[in-house]
A and B are shown apart, each in its own frame.
Chain A
Amino acid sequence: MNQRFFLSLGVALVTVSVQAAESDLKPALAALKKVGPEGRGNAEAASAWQTLSKADAHSIPVLLAAMDDANDLAVNWLRAAVDTIADRELKAGGKLPIAALHAFLGGTRHHPRARRLAFELIARVEPAEADKLVPTFADDPSVELRRDAVQRLLETADAALATNKVGATKGFRAALNAARDEGQIKKAAAELRKLGQEVDLPRHFGFLMTWKIIGPFDNAKLVGFDAAYPPEKEVNLAAEHDGKAGKVRWSDLVTKDDYGMVNFNKPFGDLKGVTGYAFTEFNAASARPAELRLGCKNGWKIWFNGKLLFGRDEYHRGSRIDQYRLPIELKAGKNTLLVKACQNEEVKDWTKEWEFQLRVCDATGTAILAKDRPAAPAKTALKTTAQN
């Protein structure tokens, strides 16, 4: 009875203390959240930061929660304040509000980075307790927390390989299902395939595999990036246009690449100084926020539902999965995607690639699949004039 009473009292006191901290810090938090582009609000933020960083340790959850609706610059200011408070408190022999940090970590609606920071603070003080939490993060919205959990799954499956192939298979499958990190996905997929298991990597990532392509248009002296060729004005899949070396028309391309690479060199030959377009539709189950994630080492532009999202005229400096992340709002039903890929005129071996990979996913990297996506990369569904 007494123990329960004091525990309740403790929780109540912490709550009161946090509420007081929240109230005291409100003006400083508001000032700090106003930081914006080109240094806007920095002077006020510096002053606010002095207030926040001098707050006591009970304020840490308040600062973490403030990250929820803060922009990424303000999140960094807040993070630095949290670190400063925690360092000072621990150096002075004080304590961090561990119960409140656990509660915060459990609230998956909070900013993923704030929750990760809460976890790291817990780990500083109670490493064994933090370690026990790791397996619970396999489906966590924080990519960093999830990565730790997947690593644990991979290590367990690895350990089972020699003696328990069924267990290892289950373990690698669980790891693959949970994994959003490219390296971890590749590791789990490779192990599953060695164990004779089917793995549909394009589906796991959400790569778009089925395209209509057209080209080549000109990109000599890099003119193609700014030139608005006919597909940018209207996508008419039945139309014929003037290309770089004669008439060009749309054709089908279905990539079978595990990582969704759409390679223009396959149908067109290893051309230089050219521009190509790829078009596809995405049939969304519902309206929702999403991300287009692109990997491309050529100049590129992307239009989503007819609107130019972004473009970049960098050539052959490297490419990787999720190189560029572009937030979009999917609408229910048909959405359209047009990708422009420009190849430059350099002739070195490492400048041959004329390709891109594109996927649709949520902010954690979880694939969002089209309603009508086939179970595996289509091999015969479309009349294929070009295959990667």
Chain B
Amino acid sequence: MKKLFAISLLAIAANALTAADWLQFRGPNGTGIAAETSAPTKLTEQSVVWKIPLPGRGLSSAIVVGERVFVTASSGVEQDRLHVLCFSAKDGSKLWERQFWATGRTMTHHKTAGAAPTPCSDGKRLFCIFSSNDVACLDLDGNVLWLRGLGRDYPNASNSLGMASSPVIVGDTLICQVENDSESFAVGLDATTGANRWKLDRPKMANWTSPLILPGASALVVLQSGKGLSAIEPRTGKEMWYYTDGAATIPSSTFANGVFYAAAKGITALRPAAGNPHPEQLWQTAQLSPATASPIVIGGKIFALNNAGILSAGDVKDGARLWQLRLTGPFSGSPVAVGAHLYLANEKGLVQVVNTAAAEGEVASTLDLKEIVLATPSVAHGALYIRSDKTLWKLGAR
């Protein structure tokens, strides 16, 4: 009976969470790699399936659970109106919207906004955090499950330039990095009640990177900061391995095939091993230098975008640069991949599709959305979702 119950639960979970969903910043495990293998590579005006106006600004990406697309936004002179919106993936119609007032500080650099972090989901619930460190947990129908004001609870936890780290959900723990020059911490919240499971002091320095999930039977979460990396057990916050030679505070890192590619001194490849607190350093190269956008691995290549908008491809075996391709920058959002194609949107809204299988890489197509885009694209069920301060687009085959 128990076994049957367990099997039923698994079946329900499998139904709720399809492989092609996009549940967090940079999708599956934060790698930027879509689970599916095809999406339109020749973008044209006809690729716009729908576009809908948003009530506020944001750098947060859309996330997609089944037929629903969720996005956050912030509005008001003080950016103190926090919006959580749910749209139909099919036609873009708004299914529901919830608004909250920020309980923490809302000041940011003018370029960013209150809705900078991307929400995440476990397929049943939606977890949204904003620059004010307000956290809202809702079910997929917009019912409020819990609220936290991390800036209210810890009043020096803020950054006058704005916060941007996106949370991750592992099991029943939501991990948020709230790192800044003053009251800097990471916290594991009980996903059911929002209460602290654990809270770790973190380096007192501004940090906009997002935690990264290392999947597996005993999944870990890597916290990145200017001091380095710390891999923790999501349920307890216990540190399992660490790296102390520094890391970037804007681009996040990535993980593929057992190797952690840290945005550190360019790219530093580290191989963690169970039971060893020191990951093995495989290589380090400054030839791949991620600026704002996070690096991404496709097959045997790792890609990084520098400040000049140059996409560099490196060999994952040794970091050797294979080729470079000048794209039209600048970029604030990170690239995502479907198969061998990278999808990038620059700050002016020019979406660029790069075929990384071409000998030196090539731009397969572009589409000008003609609005400022600072967010990372999302990919789900064969479609691409991109948001600006004003609009959410679905791009794909009609």
Contacts and interface: CB of A to CB of B under 8 A. Distances in A.
A310 B99 contact: no
B206 A317 contact: yes
B107 interface: yes
A338 B375 CA distance: 43
Given A53-B143, A313-B181, A314-B182, A79 B96 contact: no
A77 B147 CA distance: 8
Contact of A147 (B77, B146, B195): B77
Given A79-B99, A310-B155, A317-B161, A323 B107 contact: yes
Contacts, number: 104
A110 B45 CA distance: 50
Contacts of A46: 144-146
B98 A80 contact: yes
B97 A37 contact: no
Contacts of A53: 143-144
Interface in B132-182: 134, 136, 142-149, 152-153, 155-156, 158-161, 180-182
A73 interface: yes
A274 B145 CA distance: 48
A356 interface: no
Interface string A78-98: 011101100100000000000
B201 to A, nearest CB: 14
A317 B160 contact: yes
B193 interface: yes
Contacts of B152: 37, 72-73
A378 interface: no
A344 to B, nearest CB: 10
A86 B155 CA distance: 33
A312 B77 CA distance: 24
Contacts of A39: 146, 148, 189-190, 193-196
Interface in B15-33: none
Nearest to B104: A72
A79 B100 contact: yes
Contacts of B206: 317
Given A39-B146, A73-B103, A84-B142, A312 B195 contact: no
B101 interface: yes
A75 interface: yes
Contacts of B98: 80, 83-84
B109 interface: yes
B160 A83 contact: no
A94 B73 CA distance: 28
A297 B160 contact: yes
A219 to B, nearest CB: 14
Contacts of A75: 101
A84 B84 CA distance: 13
A318 B193 contact: no
Nearest to B158: A314
Contact of B101 (A79, A84, A315): A79
A234 interface: no
A314 B146 contact: no
B181 A314 contact: yes
A312 B103 contact: no
B134 to A, nearest CB: 8
Contacts of B190: 39
Interface string A244-258: 000000000000000
Given A46-B146, A312-B156, A38 B196 contact: yes
A320 B77 CA distance: 13
A28 B373 CA distance: 42
Residue from A72, A313, A315 whose CB has the most chain B CB atoms within 10 Å: A72
A38 B181 contact: no
A49 interface: yes
A42 interface: yes
Contact of A313 (B99, B182, B192, B196): B182
A285 B159 CA distance: 36
B155 A49 contact: no
A196 interface: no
A322 to B, nearest CB: 9
A283 interface: no
Interface in B56-115: 76-77, 96-101, 103, 105, 107, 109
A72 B103 contact: yes
A43 interface: yes
Interface in A45-93: 45-46, 49-50, 53, 72-73, 75-77, 79-81, 83-84, 87
B68 to A, nearest CB: 16
Interface string A121-165: 000000000000000000000001001000000000000000000
Given A42-B195, A80-B144, A72 B101 contact: yes
Interface of B: 76-77, 96-101, 103, 105, 107, 109, 134, 136, 142-149, 152-153, 155-156, 158-161, 180-182, 189-190, 192-196, 204, 206
Given A38-B195, A313-B181, A323-B105, 9 more contacts: A38-B153, A40-B195, A43-B193, A46-B144, A77-B147, A80-B99, A87-B96, A113-B101, A181-B77
Interface of A: 35, 37-40, 42-43, 45-46, 49-50, 53, 72-73, 75-77, 79-81, 83-84, 87, 113, 144, 147, 181, 183, 297, 310, 312-315, 317-320, 323-324
Interface pairs A-B: 6 shortest CB-CB? A39-B195, A317-B160, A42-B146, A318-B160, A39-B194, A314-B181
21 contacts: A39-B148, A39-B189, A42-B147, A42-B193, A42-B195, A43-B146, A49-B143, A50-B143, A73-B152, A77-B147, A80-B99, A80-B100, A81-B144, A144-B76, A181-B77, A312-B156, A313-B181, A314-B180, A317-B161, A317-B181, A319-B160
